[in-house]
Amino acid sequence: MNEKDYFKFRQIDANSYKNFDLPVYLKSVLNDTEKSILDFGCGYGQMLKALKSNGFKFIEGADINEDAIKHLRSQGILANDLNANSNFYSENAASFDFIIMSHVLEHIPKTEVINHLILLKTLLKPNGALIVMVPNAQSNTGCYWAYEDFTHNLLFTGGSLYYVLKAAGFSSVDFLDVDCLAGSTGLNKLLRQFFLRLYKLNYAFWNKITASSFHRPSPSIFSYELKAIARK
C-alpha cells in the first residue's frame, strides 16, 4: 500500500477532527507557549491546529503523507515531508523542547521501534521530552486495535512501552492520566472512579480464579490509550 492511500482507505480527511481540542492532560504538561514542539506523524494536523489555537508559536509537523503535508502548508503550518528530506534528523538535531508522537509508534515494524526512538531522541534539546500515545492492549478494547487498522504492526502495554523508551536511552518514563480522568469533574468523575475500581477488582478476581497474572513491575493501565512522557 502506498502511504498516499492511507487516509483515504481509513475514511479520514482534513475535516475528520475539526472539533479536536488539546487534551487536558497535555495542557498540564505543555504549559509554556514559548516551547518548540514537533508533531511527528502529524497527519492532517489536528494536534498542531489545537496547539496553535492554544497560543503555541513554535510548532511544526512531520509526516510521510503528501496530501496531509499539502493541507497543512495551505493552512500556514510548517510541515516537513519525511519522504523528500533525507537529512531531516541531522538538520534538526537538538531543536525541540517537546516531540509529540500520537498513534504512530504502533505503525513501525517491531524490529525498528527502538532505533526509531533513538533517532527521535536526537531531535530533542538537552532537557527535552517525547510525549507518546499508543493504543493500549490491556484496555477494554484489547486486541481490537491490533486489527482494526491494517497498518498496525504491534500493540503496547504499559510494561512494553516503558521497555522500548528506556531501551532507547530516555532517562525517565512517566505515564500520564492513567485513569483517563483528566477533565472529568463532579459526579461524572466520582462515577467513573467508582466503576473503574469495580473493573479492576473484577480483573483481579478472575486472574485469581484462572491462575493468571500481570507482570508485577509493570503498571496496570486500562484506558483506551497509553500516554507517556519520556525525558531525554
Give the three-class secondary structure for 9: helix
Domain boundaries, the chain: 3-181+221-231
How are beta strands 225-231 and 124-135 bridged, if at all? antiparallel
Percentage above 70 pLDDT, the chain:
99
pLDDT digits 0-9 by tens, 160-197: 999 999 999 999 999 999 998 888 899 999 999 999 99
Give buried/exposed letters for 77-86 (b at 16+ CB in 10 A, else e).
Answer: bebbbbeeee
CA pseudo-torsion sign 2, 46, 94, 110 = negative
pLDDT digits 0-9 by tens, 30-71: 989 999 999 999 999 999 999 999 999 999 999 999 889 999
Q: What is the pLDDT at residue 19?
A: 85
> Which CATH fold topology does 3-181+221-231 show?
Rossmann fold (3.40.50)
Local confidence band at 5 (pLDDT 50, 70, 90 cut-offs): confident
pTM for the structure as a whole: 0.91
203, pLDDT greater than 60? yes
